[in-house]
Amino acid sequence: MAYDEEQEKRSRVVVETPSAKREYVQSESVRTPDRSGISAGMVGVLVVVAIALITMLVLFWMSNQQTTDPNANTVAQQQQPPIIQQAPAQQPPVIIQQPAPAPATQTAPIIITQPAGGSTETTAANTDATIQLAIDKQMIDDPTLSSLGVTATVMNAKVTLIGTVKSESLKNSVEKMVRRIKGVKEVDNQISVVAD
């Protein structure tokens, strides 16, 4: 074991007796060992590491608490529902029949077309898809509306608007834009106004 310092301690004691005075001088050497434990720098490092670990644990706990937050359900409900678009039914081919060539005269070809009217489901799906494309194009083209994060869903020419905006005027602007699109029969405006 190494020693850093060596100190000498002297003490003087005077003893008085009836016959004489005596003086005793006593000296002691005191040796102080070097500190072989944890240095101040090591203590500082340990404190910093402990604070970092506590901070990470608190952040981890807070992130887990946010997922169990009752308001998390409302955020999940406000997410847009999936848009299901049915592929248009394949149309039967148009058949053109020509009669066998006649030696003397050529007759006009006979064109057979599909019956008028068609399927109402296919027409409704095509109309909804056309309205949806028109709304999406208007939202993208307008810089004010494209940054809002509003979702439009079309079902049987009825448009449902979902999202949040900062003012009532923005909510009304979105609704007016949708009402101007050809084919829209009804607008269900469920946009929430949330002021900052």
Q: Report yes or no: 107 and 99 within 8 Å, Cβ to Cβ.
A: yes
pLDDT digits 0-9 by tens, 3-28: 455 566 667 767 777 777 777 677 77
**Per-residue tokens: 41:** 């720098």
What is the Rg, in whole angstroms, of the alpha carbon atoms belonging to the chain?
Answer: 46
Q: Report yes or no: 153 and 80 within 8 Å, Cβ to Cβ.
A: yes
pTM greater than 0.95: no
pLDDT digits 0-9 by tens, 117-145: 555 556 666 788 899 999 888 888 888 88
